[in-house]
Chains A and B, each alone.
Chain A
Amino acid sequence: MENAETVLQINGLTKIYRSLFTPVGVKAVDNLTLGVRRGETYSIVGPNGSGKTTTLKILLGLLFPTSGASSIFGRGINDLSVRERIGFLPEDAYLYDCFSGEELLDFYAGLFGYGRRKRRQLVDELLALVGMQANRRVPFRECSKGMRQRLALAQALVNDPELLILDEPTSGLDPAGRQQMTRLVLELKARGKTILLCSHFLAEVEEVCDRVGILYAGRLVSEGTLGELAGEPTEIAITTSRLAGGAAERVAAKPAVVNVEEGTVRMRRAEEGQLWDVLQTIHEAGGVIFEVRRPRPTLQDVFVRAIGEERVSER
């Protein structure tokens, strides 16, 4: 539902790729409707070929939709004034490889019509933000993957955009690089930027996103905050010491217990009235209780469940 706080709105977007050999076409995006609110970080997740990048490309005017409409800041996506307020980080950081970070940022800032002094100041600030001051004169082709990705993020920030569109910002990075990029995204979020993010790395999405849309075969199959998507916890997990002898069998025999694994007893939350009884059984069996918690399903769990349900309904 579009409202005053909606920065980006997609309504019934469909994209069909047609060619000479596929006149019927391949549906990459299927009647997609979603909205991103001001200040939130929204992530589109989905398996390969689910239409994530196609959607971003349509929003940037690189591809044309077969049907449907999109707007950013209440204006059509081809309105030039919209581009002055957005920043885009392309997947795999494709920038001119014979130029240094300093030269590249100066070029991209120039596309916004900034004067020499402002460009110089911006270049310094952005290189500092992404931690590239020391390597400011290194040609892009000689930069590591992580440096490239950080420079690509810097070019997306040259106009201090209100809306950032990030396509796989941590793709191809090592764990340290991913952590650094996630930290940068969190910093931008803290500065009040609205962020639309596509990523394969669900743990990072979970860390930075307010809302998530799960795409499958071009369709939005699930959308909401992680809490909404995951729902209330259905289980209680009791972390214990190893249950020796027949102790594990005795605990597992309790009707509320779902299963007993190495050091973890899982019971149905619906039967939480039985919790004290289960804890007592563990104690009597010689087990030491370390922790009792209600584990919320991770985004990974939600994702697998949503995609699984779609696959089943397809059959």
Chain B
Amino acid sequence: MSADLSRLVPLIGAIIVAAIAVVTRRAWLPAIGHAGPSIWRIAKITVAEARRRRVVQAVIVLVVVILFSMTFFTYLSPQEQARMLISGGLAAITVFGILLAIFVAAFMIPHEVETRTIYAILSKPVRRFEFVLGKYLGALIVLGVITAIMTAVLVVVLVVQDRLVPDSGESVFNPNLGPVIFAAVMSYCAVAVLTALIILISTVSSTTMTVISAFIIWAVGSLQSTFSDLAQHAEGAAKTLLLIVYHAVPKLENFDFQREAANFMPISLVSGWNAVLHGIGYTAVVLLLASIFFNDRQM
């Protein structure tokens, strides 16, 4: 199979899944019809709760301060300044996005169980999978809003700097907005995948274990190519273990377009599309497992 065709595999997979969903809609549509409002209500209260806790606001303020502070590196050439702002800004969006994902998602379900607020919810006509999906959707909205705010601030900083920094010879300040926004969106997709995995872990373990596992997964997920190389050179049980890790942990590296955006390199939309499709499939499986595990959990 040629490289071009292999890129179409996720797309073909998505079309097959969509076709199966359409054919079997009579089986799942009534359940979803009931689940929809419950999932949405739980998502909404999750968002409202995050807003009231003010931790999110504190993180946004911190990121805004960091982004604006990076505009003071005036000794760099205009091109270097743009590169540093883009690279630093996207790194801040990714790191704070993932840190927030870890802390929002890791505490969400265990906190509900520990404080027993879940009792009043599950005694209503709410299925456990609806609770898990509602919590995930709520976390996605919270993290999406935060990523959007951070990206908007980065864009504003880049546009303002573009006006303020004078070009010197061939060195021009290029805000590279399209690729920057694309990279930020892809960073959000990585956060969405990681959030699903954290929720899965939180359905079977304590908050502390979830947080520790999330950091390990983040590290391993960001070093997937290294694991692939190591697996190729390893033998026996070590090879099997590395391959399991390689396939089980989400390939967060695939969502990383910071280098392309910061270095004004062309961005492969197909790579982005493949990463998104892989992420959607991975997230669906992980959320299905989370629902199954949570369904069997004793409160």
Chain A residues in contact with chain B, CB under 8 A?
A: 57, 60-64, 80-81, 83-84, 86-88, 90, 92, 94-96, 98-99, 103, 107-108, 110-113, 152, 155-156, 159, 165
Contact = CB atoms under 8 A, between A and B. Distances in A.
Interface centre among A62, A64, A111, A159 (most CB of B within 10 A): A111
Interface in B31-89: 34, 37-38, 41, 45, 48-49, 52-53
Contacts of B45: 96, 99, 107
A95 B299 contact: no
A98 B124 contact: no
Contact of A90 (B34, B120, B127): B120
Interface in B114-165: 115-117, 119-127
Contact of A62 (B52, B122, B125, B126): B122
A62 B41 contact: no
A110 B37 contact: yes
A54 to B, nearest CB: 10
B168 interface: no
- What does DSSP make chain B's interface, helix, strand, loop or mixed? helix
B298 interface: yes
Please give me the 3 A-B residue pairs with the lowest Cβ-Cβ distance, nearest first: A88-B123, A94-B116, A62-B299
Contact of B41 (A90, A111, A159): A111
Contacts of B298: 62-64
Interface string B283-299: 00000000000001011
B117 A80 contact: no
A113 B121 CA distance: 13
Given A95-B117, A159-B124, 4 more contacts: A61-B122, A90-B116, A94-B115, A111-B37
A113 to B, nearest CB: 5
Contacts of B38: 111, 113
Contacts of A103: 48
Interface residues of B, number: 24
A60 B125 contact: no
Interface of B: 34, 37-38, 41, 45, 48-49, 52-53, 115-117, 119-127, 296, 298-299
A293 to B, nearest CB: 44
A161 B112 CA distance: 24
Contacts of B116: 90, 92, 94
A57 B296 CA distance: 14
Given A98-B49, A98-B52, A112-B125, A155 B120 contact: yes
B119 A88 contact: yes
A99 B48 contact: yes
Contact of B123 (A64, A83, A110): A83
A111 B119 contact: no
B120 A80 contact: no
Contacts of B296: 64
A83 B125 contact: yes
Contacts of A155: 120
Given A63-B298, A94-B115, A98-B53, A111 B48 contact: no
A60 B122 contact: yes
Nearest to A89: B120
A126 B52 CA distance: 25
Given A110-B37, A111-B38, A113-B37, A96 B123 contact: no
Given A62-B298, A99-B48, A107-B41, A94 B117 contact: yes
A85 to B, nearest CB: 9
Nearest to B124: A111
A154 B117 CA distance: 15
Nearest to A110: B41
Contact of B121 (A87, A111, A165): A111
